Structure 1
Amino acid sequence: MESWQRAFVLHARPYSESSLLLDLFTENHGRVRLLAKGVRSRRSPLKGCLQPFIPLLVRWGGRGEIKILRSAEAISLGLPLVGSMLYSALYINELLSRVLEQEGDYQALFFDYLACLQALASEGGSPEQALRQFELALLTHLGYGLDFLHCAGSGQPIDDAMSYRYREEKGFIASLVIDHHSFTGRELRALAERQFPDQITLRAAKRFTRLALKPYLGNRPLKSRELFRQFVRKQPDSPIDEV
């Protein structure tokens, strides 16, 4: 890939004494794994720019599963993410690293990711609205299609006052059972519109996205969630308890 691509670093880890192994999220090629040779040396011009949340232009080459970074440059300064917004951004990076196939077609998701980062960088309160909207966008791009506005059992439009139980791969079925898998019609309408006007709909959205993402993530815990919990323990006034 010798043409320039817009990209963000999702994750970087040391590789040998002077190199990095990078997971990038690129505009036209989705998640790409690159070997960045010599970039940890003191003389490398790339030493400071291969960091998460810095918009990049990159070029790479090679035929194997791990490509070779040819060149990179920062388009602008890194997005101003601090506190809970920073940990929330680390969470969405880990999500993408875990669930996206390498070199898939995720161009539309790239812009959803950019919009989420920009929202987190500009938010002054809770990051939850931006996180839930991104998780729902991610599920859509993964091919997870659910009808939030009709009962999967009867096909009838949902009633805001009724309760519906989520069944994986089937949808929402009217039920009198109230448990962790149950959602009101009003909560489902909020999910369909990706707009959460209050804490009730926000909590319902978090509950749903946890259920829906679990098959993609498996049982291995997310490191970013543990980091967020550690942050919250030190910041008792944090607007949320975990991402």
Structure 2
Amino acid sequence: MEGLQRCFVLHSRPYSETSLILDVFSEDAGRLTLLSKGARRKRSNLKGALQPFTPLFMKWSGKGSMPVLTHAEPISIGLPMRSYILYSAMYVNELLARVVEPNTPYQVLFLDYLNVLRELAQAENPEPALRRFELALLDHLGYGVDFFHCAGSGLPVDDTMTYNYREQRGFIASLTIGQLTFTGEQLKAIAARRFETPEQLRAAKRFTRIALKPFLGGKPLKSRELFIPRGRSTGK
């Protein structure tokens, strides 16, 4: 690898007595795992830098499953994530670590990630930012769905009608109401990624959970478990 790349640390874990294994999201290289030798030593100049939500310039060398970090420097101070917003940001990091293929460039997704961190750092309610990021992530994963037309008839969706979601098909007009049911007005809000009412946000959350489930598999997200005892909505 040549030159510095813009990166974020998604997660880190101890390796031996002095080193760290880093899950990193890079603008040009995508998601990758790096070994940071000596990063846990008391006098390491990397110790305070390798934190989530801190934009970094990074450089590494070597091939194989775990290249070695050779340089890291903060581009700016870390984006501030206060109280419950922190857990929403941790959820975003876990999503990337779980569903994005390693060593695959995602330059546009990197910008979407940077945008959601900026939004979360300023948000009182994290839900709109999280829903927009989830929908962007689904787009980058190739999850295509038509929110504007009934998959059965091909007609444009009507704001007042209800549509049931069918995996790999889309939304089909139906009078049956359930967890897979959305109004035409909700579908248009999801497509536009603009959520002006609580009902639109709840519908978007239902849809993204349904759509992300095949990518996540049966393993629960650890970041969701952090909020269970607190009884407060995280937006996840």
Normalised by the shorter chain, which TM-score bucket?
over 0.9
Shift of 1:175: 0.8
**1:21-170 alignment, distance < 5 Å:** 21-123=21-123, 125-170=124-169
Q: Which residue of 2 aligns with 1:220?
A: 219
Q: Does 1:207 align with 2:206?
A: yes
Flag as ranges the 4+ runs of structure 1 deviating above 3 A. Answer: none
Distance 2:213 2:234 in 1: 19
Distance 1:194 1:242 in 2: 15
* Cα distance per residue 1:118-155 (max 9 Å; x no partner): 000011x2100000000000000000011100011111
Unpaired segments ≥5 residues, structure 2: none
**1:8-27 alignment, distance < 5 Å:** 8-27=8-27
* Cα distance per residue 1:68-115 (max 9 Å; x no partner): 101100111111101121110000000000001111121000000000
State the TM-score, normalizing by the size of structure 1: 0.95
Shift of 1:241: 5.4
Residues 7 and 241 of structure 1, relative CA distance in 2, 3 Å threshold: closer
Distance 1:77 1:188 in 2: 38
Confirm or deny: 8 A CA contact 1:225 1:242 kept in the other structure.
no
Question: What SS class does the counterpart of residue 147 from structure 1 fall into?
Answer: coil
Confirm or deny: 8 A CA contact 2:84 2:234 kept in the other structure.
no
Shift of 1:169: 1.2
The Cα RMSD (Å) is 0.9
Distance 1:28 1:96 in 2: 15
Shift of 1:27: 0.4
Confirm or deny: 8 A CA contact 1:41 1:47 kept in the other structure.
yes
Distance 1:193 1:26 in 2: 27
Distance 1:226 1:132 in 2: 19
Question: What SS class does the counterpart of residue 213 from structure 2 fall into?
Answer: helix
What is the percent sequence identity of the aligned residues?
59
Read off the aligned partner of 2:5 and give its amino acid letter: Q
Distance 1:84 1:160 in 2: 34
Shift of 1:242: 5.2
Confirm or deny: 8 A CA contact 2:87 2:226 kept in the other structure.
yes
Distance 1:134 1:199 in 2: 18
Question: What SS class does the counterpart of residue 227 from structure 2 fall into?
Answer: helix
Question: What SS class does the counterpart of residue 120 from structure 1 fall into?
Answer: helix
Confirm or deny: 8 A CA contact 2:87 2:234 kept in the other structure.
no
Distance 2:51 2:228 in 1: 23
Distance 1:103 1:228 in 2: 31
Distance 1:85 1:131 in 2: 11
Unpaired segments ≥5 residues, structure 1: none
Confirm or deny: 8 A CA contact 1:229 1:241 kept in the other structure.
no
State the TM-score, normalizing by the size of structure 2: 0.98
Question: What SS class does the counterpart of residue 226 from structure 2 fall into?
Answer: helix
* Cα distance per residue 1:151-205 (max 9 Å; x no partner): 1111110000000001111110111110000000000000110001010000000
Distance 1:196 1:102 in 2: 32
Shift of 1:228: 2.2
* Cα distance per residue 1:38-83 (max 9 Å; x no partner): 1000111001110100000000111101111011001111111011
Distance 2:191 2:235 in 1: 23
Shift of 1:15: 0.6
Read off the aligned partner of 2:151 and give its amino acid letter: A
Shift of 1:229: 2.2
Distance 1:81 1:241 in 2: 13
